[in-house]
Structures are given as C-alpha cells and as structure tokens.
Amino acid sequence: MRVRFSAVVMAINLILSAPADAQLLDAHTVARGSWPAIAAGGEGRLYATFEAYENDAKVPDIFFSISTNGGATWSPAKDISRTLTGVSRHPDIAVEKNGAVDVVWSDSSTDPTNPDIFFVRSADGGKSWTEPMDISNTPGVCAEPSLAIGPHDSIHVVWSDTSTGVRNRDIYYVCSKDGGRKWAKDQLLPAVDISSTPGSSSEPSIAVGAEGIVHVAWADTTAGATHPDIYYVWRENNAWTKPVNVSKSVRISSHPTLACDKGKVFLAWSDNSKKETAADIWLAVADRPGKFANTVNISETKGVSIEPSVAADDGLLTVVWSDTTASARSLSADAKTASIFARLSPDSASNFSKVISVSNPQQMAIHPHATFAGGKMIVIWEELDRAGEESTIKASSITIKGLATSTAAPVTPTVHRAVTGNQH
C-alpha cells in the first residue's frame, strides 16, 4: 500500500521521555488505509472513512466502515467513491440528525490537474450510497475539504481552492438544505470565497452551532509567507464577517480545528511560538462568535505536537493530537515515532484531564480524529509500520467518567500578541 508522510512528521527525530501520567489504551484495527475521519450516529454506531487502495488499483479511493460496539470491531471496508481513474484524497464525514451519513473528499476524476470536491450520502446507515457528486466545480485545485451538519440537517462544506491564483489559495464554501441533492439554492451559492485575504489560505475547518451560525477557521499567510496565522470567520443572517486573526503568534500557527457546543466555539491549532523546534497545541474558546478568550496550552509536552482534532458534545470536550514526546521509547536512537495524545474536559474547557496516551509509542501515529459516543471518547488515527511502507487505521475508546482534572496553562501573552508591522 502507498502512503504519504507529512513533511513535518518525517523531520521528527527527538529523543524525549514520555509523561509519567500517560496511559496506554487498547487500540483496535479498522482497516488498511490512511487519512481517517470518524463520526458517531444513533444507537452507538460509529462511522469511519479513509483513503485506501482497491486490490491492485494504482490510485486511492475513499472507503467506509461501521462499528456497532464502540470501535472494538469494524465491518469490511467498502469503496464509496468509485471514481476509478481519479485520485481520491482527504475525506471527511458527518452524520445528520435523521441518521443519514455524509462524506466529502477531493477527487481528480473530472480533471487530473484540477481536482474538485465530491460528495456522497447514505440514507440507510451505509448500506447504499448516492452516486458521487461534484459540489465544487471550480477552475482551481480543490483540496482539504471539511464537513459539518447544521440545524434541519443542512450540510456545510469548505475547502481550499486555487481559483484566485496558485500562490493565493482561498477558502470556498457551499451548503445544501435538501440532503445534498442541490447545492445552489442558498443566496450565497454557488461556491463562495469566504477568505479573500492577500495571503494563501489552507487547512480549513468548519463547525455549525445549534443556532445555525457557521464557523470557519484556516491557516493564512497574510501576516508573513513563512509564518502563517489562524484566521476565522462566521456567518450569521446570510452574511460573512471579515476574517479575524485569532492566533496572532510570533512563529508558525497551523492545523486549525473547530467544534461547537452549548453556545461555545472551540478552536485549537498547532503553534511553535513557545518552543521554536517543538510545537504545542493551543486552544481558544469563544462564548460568542469571534470573542475568543485567553489562549491555553493544551499539550504542555516536551515533544512536537501537531495535527490536533477537537470534538465537543453536551459539555464534553476533547483535543487529540500527534506527539513525539514518547520517542525515547522507540527501538533505536534514530527511530521516528509519534503517539496520539489526548486531553479531556468534562466541563466545556474549564478543566482538563492529564495527558492520555492513546496509541503505541513505538509506532508512527498521525492524522488523529475524534468524536463522542455513549459517554466515551472515540479516537481514530493512521499508524505506519516500522518500515514506513504500510499504514493501518486504528481506533480506541476512552471512558470519561472518573478522570481527574485541572486547569490548562495559559499561553504567555508575549508569544500570542500581534507584533507591529509585518514582523510576524
């Protein structure tokens, strides 16, 4: 199987000790594949999607699997993209309140050099799927889609797009209010450029609150080509706000991830401003759109912390990420390893558990994604073998009840405050 390494992860070669309070939990194999995403449905069902290769196929497709027992076992992987010649990448998944399952991804079927964003939907829990639909259809390269469900099962999708210029990517948005049959009935549609910044916009994340406000965050180079920040907009009453720089940090901010719950907006990202060679995971919480309080350091580890995923449900919050702190436990001094770490909050980010080690510290674990189901946190990730040639999707569940908690450390203002001019 062919896999892709993150350039950041491949550069990792730190020999550090694991945190004493970390706990290694049981992990279960989902399937062979990469870039997983997970969502929870009714009756305790878990739905996973990921990239994989069908038999001897030369290009990847998007696959789907179901668990009915909290992630302990999974159904055989099913190809749901079925775009035989196109390269299918970077899927995301969400479940509507009515139980329908939605999946989006980037696909080059319509144009090998300019992929679009494709969408499929299952109204029967994954037994059957609609034909893949091109929902972006722009002249640029469409990549990195992110998916969220809003009130009345409206479907909201964002992605990065080069239609305005290869070196000036923007973030585009579409939504559907009829189960994905039509994507052009909203007065803001077809696809709308919601970033429109001077810099290059990438890595978008979307979340929709119960009241219907749409929140989008992304990494943006407007403040400096080598020092991206995390930008954020929201949509209310059919109008988008101007982009707001939320991170304003002195070095590199990347990998933003959003969640909404109980009127709050949770925005996490990876930032190396405190430790230039070892990024941390930072979290900002807003009680109302755009009003983010002081940022806190969620990871607080000695290793490189990247690729966070945030999930929130009924007061529960988790942040998971890929972290090199446990590299000292690897088999050799030059081994490149990373674990999936997590911190849980039972009270909407007022307090957090200690760091929990979710994956095997002797493997390279990357691309984590999280959800909640049945009072447990479910984490899915990609795990590479020691040769770096095969990747497997793993999943683990963590019981929330009884975890000791404490407050997270605030980020020092000197590394979280915008500096003058372009000296970002």
pLDDT beyond 90 at 7: no
- 19's CB contacts (< 8 A; 6+ apart) are 301, 325, 354, 355, 357
Q: Return the percentage of the chain with pLDDT > 70, whole number.
A: 87
Q: Which residue has the higher pLDDT, 147 or 361?
A: 147
Give the pair of three-digit tokens for residue 50. 């990921």
Give percent of the chain with pLDDT exceeding 90.
71
Low-confidence winner among 80-94, 126-140, 186-200, 296-310 (lowest mean pLDDT): 186-200
pLDDT score of 92 more than 90: yes
The answer, yes or no, to whether the previous bond of 190 is cis (omega within 30 of 0) is yes
Token reading at 321: 């990420």
Q: What is the pLDDT of residue 417?
A: 53
DSSP letter, residue 151:
G
Strand partners, 392: 32, 383
- Least Cα distance to 137 among 165, 178, 106 occurs for 106
Instruction: State which of 173-187, 290-304, 410-424 shows the largest mean pLDDT.
Output: 290-304
Answer yes or no: is pLDDT of 9 > 70. no
Mean pLDDT, the chain, rounded, equals: 87
The distance from CA 147 to its chain's CA centroid, rounded to whole angstroms, is 10
**pLDDT confidence bin for 237, thresholds 50/70/90:** confident
Mean of the pLDDT values across residues 114-118? Answer: 96
DSSP for 295-351, please give it.
-EES---SS-EEEEEEEEETTEEEEEEEE-GGGGGSSSTT---BEEEEEEESSTTSS
Q: Quote the pLDDT of residue 361.
A: 84
Of the pLDDT bands very low, low, confident and very high (cuts 50, 70, 90), residue 82 is confident
Triad 360, 59, 56: Cα angle to 5°: 85
Torsional sign, CA 25, 400, 320, 69: positive
How confident is the model over 306-348, as pLDDT tens digits? 999 999 999 999 999 999 997 644 444 445 789 999 999 999 9
pLDDT of 423 > 80? The answer is no
Q: Is the pLDDT of residue 354 over 90?
A: yes
Mean pLDDT of 217-238: 92
Q: Are 142 and 160 in contact (CB under 8 A)?
A: yes
pLDDT confidence band for 401 (50 / 70 / 90) = confident
Q: What is the CATH number of domain 7-415?
A: 2.120.10.10
Show me where the domains of the chain are located: 7-415
Q: Which two tokens stand for residue 385?
A: 């073998």
pTM of structure: 0.90
Q: What's the CA gap between 20 and 355, in Å, rounded?
A: 9
Tokens 């990024």 correspond to 279
Q: Measure the CA–CA gap between 120 and 132, rounded to whole angstroms.
A: 5
